[in-house]
Amino acid sequence: MIYLKMEDLPAFTNTPVDSIPAIHARVANKFHSHATRPIEYRQKQLRALYWGLKDEEPALLEALKLDLGKSAYEAYLAEVGWVLNDVLFMEKNLERFMKDEKPEDIDLQNMALRPRIRKDPLGAVLIIGAFNFPLQLSLGPLIGAIAAGCTAVLKPSENAPNAARIMQHIIQNSLDPDAYQVVQGGIPETTALMEQKWDKIFYTGSANVGTIIAKKAAETLTPVTLELGGRNPAFITKNADPRLAARRLLWAKLMNAGQVCVSQNYILIDEEILPAFLHHLKLALQEFHPSGAEDNPDYSHIINERQFLRLQSLLASTTGEILLGGKTNQSTLFIEPTVIRVSSPTDPLLTNESFGPLIPILPYTSLPAAIATANAIHPTPLGIYPFGSRAETDLILSQTRSGGASVNDGFFHASIPTLAFGGVGDSGHGAYRGRASFECFSHRRSVTTTPGWVEGLLAVRYPPYSEAKLRKF
Ligand code: NAD
C-alpha cells in the first residue's frame, strides 16, 4: 500500500468567508432532512471515520510531527490511537446510548402514560478546536455529534495547520459531505461561522476567546460547551512519596512540552519534603531525557514563535530562582523543562497559565494555607493533583473545586476514555468523552403517550371543578 504523505495534500488555505453561509445551510438542510437520525446512518459514518483515520495513520503522525514536533509514540497514544479508540467505543455502544430511558419513581397511575426520555439530536452544530491536541480536541466532539445524529462543521485550530489539512482530507473523503464539513481559518472565519444560527457550539481553547464565543452564542440562545484553560495546582504534602510525585508530575509536564490544558501549572509543596522532591525531580529528568531535552527527538517543540516568545517573557517575569533548565532556542522553538522556586503566590508563573514546560514550585508550611492560596489563584481550575496521605488528599478535594482531579498523579483522570471530561466555573462547562460525548449533542426529550382508555381516570382533571373531584386526589 502506498501511504499518503503530507506533501501530497493541498497547502493550508483559509475557507473563503463568503462561502460560510452556504456551508452552514448545507449541513443544516441535511439535518432537517432527518436522514442523519437512523442508527444505521450514524454507525456508517462512525465506521467510515474509523477507516478514514486508520488508512491515514502515517500522514496523521507526520502532521503532528510537523506542527508540534510530537513523537510518533505520544502522537499515537494521545491522538491517533485515542481517537480510534473513541470511535470504536461509540460505535459499539451507540444502540445502548440511543435507547429511551425510563424516569425513576413513577406513580402507578402515571405508568399508563409510558413516561420516557428520548435522546434526540440537537441539530447542526459547530465544533471549534484548539492547537495542542489538534486531533482529539476536534474529532472527539465530532464523534459525539455524529453519534447523537447531529450534522456538524468543524473549525480546527489554524495554529496546527498540518493536522487541520489531514483532518479536512479524511472528513471530505470519508464522511457524508452534506452533513460534515471542515472550515479552515482563524478569527475572521470563526467570526463568520458565529454569525450563523447553530443548534450547539462546542468550543475548546482559552477562557478569553471562550467568553467571546459564549457572548455571541447568547445572542441567539445557542447552547455552548466550553472546554477552557488551566492554572491547575498540584499539592505535595509532607506525607507524599517524593519519588512518585516527582516522576508523575514531570511526566505530566513533559508531554507535548507542557502544552496540555490539564497539566499542573504550579506545585505547592510542604517545605519539609522539598529537598527530597527536588532530588527525585533531577533524577527523573535525567532518566527521561538522558542526553537532555534539546537532543531528545521525543520532546515536542512549542507550537509557534508567538507562543515561544510569550513563554520566554513569562519566564523572564518571575522573581523566582531557576533550579533546573532554563535553556531556550527560538530557531527550534525549544524550551527546556524548567524548574523555578518561587516565593510568592502572586508570582506571574502562578497567576498566568504557562501552557509550556515551566514548573514553578511554591513551598508552604501549612496545608490549609496552601489550599487557601490555590483557591485564591483560581477557585475553579480544570484539574487538581494532590499527593499525600488519604486524609490529606481528601481534605484538599473537600476544600477545593475543579473540573477533575487525579489523586497521587498528574492529569491521569483525563486518560480514561469513559470518564466524562470537562471544566467547572471559568475552566468551562459541559463535558464529553464516552457516553458524555453522545449526551453532549443530544436533547433529553421527555415524552408521554396518553392512551384512549385512561379517559375515565382523567375525568377528574376536566372542568367544571368540584369539591367531590378534589377529594379524589
Ligand atoms: P485559542 O482560544 O487561541 O484558540 C482556540 C480556537 O478559537 C481556535 O480554533 C481559534 O481559531 C479560535 N479563535 C481564536 N481567537 C478567536 C476569536 N477572537 N474569535 C473567534 N475564534 C477565535 O486557544 P489555543 O491557543 O488553541 O489553546 C490554548 C488554550 O486552550 C489554553 O488556555 C488551554 O488551557 C485551553 N485548552 C483547553 C482544553 C480543555 O479541554 N479544557 C484543551 C486544550 C486547550
Q: What is the ipTM of this complex?
A: 0.97
Task: Answer whether residue 415 shows pLDDT above 80.
Answer: yes
Choose the catalytic residue: 56, 74, 91, 227: 227
Cell numbers 464522511 correspond to 175
φ/ψ of 179, rounded to 5, equals -110, -30
Q: pLDDT at position 471, please?
A: 83
Pocket test for ligand 1, best of 14, 82, 204 (most atoms within 8 A of CB): 204
What's the rounded mean pLDDT across residues 23-33?
98
Question: Is 294 an annotated catalytic residue?
Answer: no
Alpha helices in 99-200 (DSSP H): 108-111, 136-148, 161-174, 187-194
Nearest atom in ligand 1 to the alpha carbon of residue 227 is: 41
pLDDT at 302: 98
Ligand 1 centre and the CA of 205: distance in Å? 2
- Tell me the angle at which helices 136-148 and 161-174 cross, rounded to the nearest 10 degrees: 30
pLDDT single digits (tens) 187-216: 999 999 999 999 999 999 999 999 999 999
Q: State yes or no: pLDDT of 461 exceeds 80.
A: yes
Instruction: Determine if ligand 1 sits within 6 Å of the CB of residue 266.
Output: no
pLDDT surpasses 80 at 129 = yes
Q: What is the mean pLDDT of the chain?
A: 97
Residue 203 confidence (pLDDT): 98
Distance (Å) of CA 91 to CA 23, 46, 148: 27, 6, 11
Q: What average pLDDT does the segment 33-39 reach?
A: 98
Q: Which residue's CA is the closest to the ligand 1 atom numbered 4?
A: 205
Q: Which residues contact 461 (CB under 8 A, 6 or more apart)?
A: none
Residue 171: is its pLDDT beyond 80? yes
- Spacing, Cα 130 to ligand 1 middle (Å): 5
Residue 425 has pLDDT above 90, yes or no: yes
Catalytic residue among 261, 336, 353, 392: 261
If you measure from the C-alpha of residue 209 to the centroid of ligand 1, how many angstroms do you get, rounded to a whole number?
Answer: 7
- Lowest mean pLDDT segment, chosen from 43-52, 101-110, 117-126, 197-206: 101-110
What is d(CA 457, CA 412) in angstroms, rounded to the nearest whole number? 55
Encode pLDDT of 37-79 as tens digits: 999 999 999 999 999 999 999 999 999 999 999 999 999 999 9
pLDDT at 229: 86
The length of the chain in residues reads: 473
Residue 254 belongs to what H/E stretch? Answer: helix 242-254
Structural element, H or E, at residue 275:
helix 274-288
Mutate to test the pocket of ligand 1, among 157, 158, 263, 352 (most ligand atoms within 8 A of CB): 157
Q: Per the structure block, which three cell numbers stand in for 270? A: 510542604
* Ligand 1 neighbourhood includes 232 CB (under 6 angstroms): no
Residue 230: band (very low, low, confident or very high) from pLDDT cuts 50, 70, 90: confident
Q: Is residue 189 annotated as part of the catalytic site, yes or no?
A: no
Give the residue-averaged pLDDT of 414-420: 95
Q: Is 258 touching ligand 1 by the criterion CB < 6 Å?
A: no
For residue 223, the tally of other CB atoms under 10 A from its CB is 15
Structure confidence at residue 470 (pLDDT): 83
